[in-house]
């Protein structure tokens, strides 16, 4: 796989950031988390204006090498023409929710945590640009190198031994 410009998509809690950080280190490439572009304030759930977020994402994708990850299909669809590889972390929703519970340092009744768990649990039902159907559409139409990883063990194995030809 040519991983020079890799997009990673998937549900919240699927392991996108974990994989992107390791892949970027292996490739010696910048890692861009689309949460940092989408949200003005993650703590208060304030999104950045759409045009500004797209502009920032396009600047990141203009680089020669990168790993960009996120759930935001509406941003990914604007960058996909620059990508050499697409990785879809298609992990079961319950596993994603378990991962969110483990990584968040918030009480189980925290409103933001509950909203994130509801969001992750609805991945296969949502009809928006960040849901399963939209990600499947992006994956199916991508003509470059691509891989769909379903199990945590597969994601870990890929991170340990990325397949690339740079």
Q: Encode pLDDT of 23-32 as tens digits.
A: 999 999 999 9
Residue 164 has pLDDT above 50, yes or no: no
Range of weakest confidence among 34-43, 48-57, 104-113, 123-132? 104-113
Angle between helices 16-27 and 152-160 (to 10 degrees): 10
H helix runs in the chain, sequence order: 16-27, 34-38, 50-61, 73-79, 93-103, 111-121, 132-141, 152-160
According to the model, what pLDDT value does residue 112 have? 83
Give the strand pairing for 39-41 and 46-47: antiparallel
Range of weakest confidence among 11-20, 73-82, 120-129, 156-165? 156-165
CA 155 vs. chain centroid, Å, equals 13
Domain residue ranges of the chain, discontinuous segments joined by +: 5-160
12 Cβ contact list (under 8 Å, min separation 6) = 71, 96, 100, 116, 119, 120, 123
What the block records as the tokens of 87 is 């990785």
Are 33 and 66 in contact by the 8 Å Cβ rule? The answer is no
Are 56 and 37 in contact by the 8 Å Cβ rule? The answer is yes
What the block records as the tokens of 15 is 């392991």
Give bridge partners of residue 46 from the DSSP assignment. 41
Give the pLDDT band (50/70/90) at residue 106: confident
What the block records as the tokens of 104 is 């968040």
Are 95 and 153 in contact by the 8 Å Cβ rule? The answer is no
Q: Give the model confidence (pLDDT) of 60-93 as tens digits.
A: 999 999 999 999 999 999 999 999 999 999 999 9
Backbone angles phi, psi at 24, to 5 degrees: -60, -40
Decide which of 3.40.920.10, 3.40.50.300, 3.90.1150.150, 3.40.50.1000 is the CATH code for 5-160.
3.40.50.300
Average pLDDT for 11-34: 96
pTM: 0.92
Q: What percent of the chain has pLDDT over 70?
A: 96
Residue 22 has pLDDT above 90, yes or no: yes
Are 165 and 1 in contact by the 8 Å Cβ rule? The answer is yes
């Amino acid at each position: 796989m040519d991983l020079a410009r890799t997009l990673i998509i998937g549900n919240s809690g699927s392991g996108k950031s974990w994989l992107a950080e390791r892949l970027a280190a292996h490739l010696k490439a910048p890692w861009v988390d689309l949460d940092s572009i989408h949200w003005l304030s993650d703590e208060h759930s304030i999104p950045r204006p759409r045009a500004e977020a797209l502009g920032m994402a396009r600047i990141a994708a203009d680089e020669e090498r990168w790993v960009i990850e996120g759930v935001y299909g509406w941003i990914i669809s604007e960058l996909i023409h620059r990508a050499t590889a697409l990785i879809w972390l298609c992990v079961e929703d319950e596993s994603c929710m378990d991962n969110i519970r483990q990584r968040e340092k918030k009480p189980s009744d925290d409103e933001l945590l509950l909203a994130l768990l509801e969001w992750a649990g609805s991945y296969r039902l949502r009809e928006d640009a960040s849901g399963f159907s939209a990600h499947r559409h992006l994956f199916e139409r991508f003509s470059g190198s691509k891989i769909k990883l379903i199990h945590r063990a597969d994601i870990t194995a890929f991170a340990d031994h990325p397949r690339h030809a740079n």
